[in-house]
Amino acid sequence: MRQFEFFSAVASELSFTRAADRLTIAQSAVSAGVRALENELGVELFDRSRRQIRLTSTGELLLPKVREALDAVNGVRDAAEETTHAITGSIVIGLMTSVTLVNVPRLLGLFRTGHPGVGVRLRAARRGSAGLLDELATGELDLAFLALSGPVPAQLLAAPISASPMVLVVPADHRLAKAGQVGLDHLGDLAPEEFIDLPPGYASRQIVDETFAAAGLERRVMIEVSDIGTAAEYVTNGLGVALLPEFAARDARNVRRLPVAGMPDFTVYLAASRTRRLSAAVRAFIDLALADDETGAIR
């Protein structure tokens, strides 16, 4: 089973080094474990002929089955733990970068106090919420705090945790700076503007793109930033305007934040895959996150 864990981690990272870091063991142990598994099965799981390793066709075929086996073993562990009322194991949680709507450190502190036998690892989104959705589907993540721009996809179990209204962020001397708010009927006035935004795949970008598309309008995104926490600073420096969740522009200087009537909120969900078994540790974390609303822990 340890060899299965090594194989699954390397398949997720496509790197023995990153897999070893993720598992907090020596790279040599991971490499030896995967090689031993290949020898035992009589197949090659990875193509090592290039600088970037990749799964062989056999590896791609076996990966889902290996992960099903790992889930089954964890199910046995959970059943045993239920007889002792002690939860152990580990959870991997995906997070969006610079999204401060959820007080994750406090939530993790509460969880560790209640379940000291569970290890929790955090992974930052590499491709926004779209990337987190993919990693939930493949089993690389057990849970994710992510944002959705529309209905919850059928493959997800998801509960809304917090939300932030979208605002138009403009320089303090912009022609719209004195407006109290803007509505969807004003989007045409924004079409000539140069926009700062996040790359496709990020939920806030999808909200804005879908809103403009529904109005039959196009816009020019001139600067893309992967950290939502820095986007408003580009507006501060006169490089364009931005449509962002209010929390992401709260501390920006020399800008005006105008509410946008009719635009969907940026909503954060705690999500898990509907097609994968939820371990006792994952269920305990979900219960805590949905029950705890003290001092803004999940707001």
pLDDT at 294: 46
Q: What is the DSSP string of 232-295?
A: HHHHHTTS-BEEEEHHHHTT-SSEEEEEEETPPPEEEEEEEETTSPPPHHHHHHHHHHHH--GG
Work out the mean pLDDT of the chain and round it to a whole number: 88
DSSP secondary structure letter of residue 152: P
For the four alpha carbons of 260, 261, 263 and 265, in that order, the dihedral sign comes to positive
d(CA 8, CA 5): 5
H-helix segments, the chain? 2-13, 16-23, 27-41, 57-84, 104-114, 128-138, 187-190, 203-214, 231-236, 246-249, 280-291
Q: Please choose, from the candidates 108, 245, 58, the residue with its C-alpha nearest in 3D space to the C-alpha of residue 165.
A: 245
The answer to whether residue 176 scores a pLDDT higher than 80 is yes
pLDDT in tens, 25-68: 888 888 998 999 999 899 999 998 888 899 999 999 999 888 88
| Residue 292 binned pLDDT confidence (cut-offs 50, 70, 90) | low
The answer to whether residue 171 scores a pLDDT higher than 70 is yes
User: Tokens for 147?
Assistant: 């944002």
The answer to whether residue 296 scores a pLDDT higher than 50 is no
| Residue 76 binned pLDDT confidence (cut-offs 50, 70, 90) | confident
DSSP secondary structure letter of residue 127: B
The answer to whether residue 249 scores a pLDDT higher than 90 is yes
Q: Please choose, from the candidates 126, 128, 96, the residue with its C-alpha nearest in 3D space to the C-alpha of residue 270.
A: 96
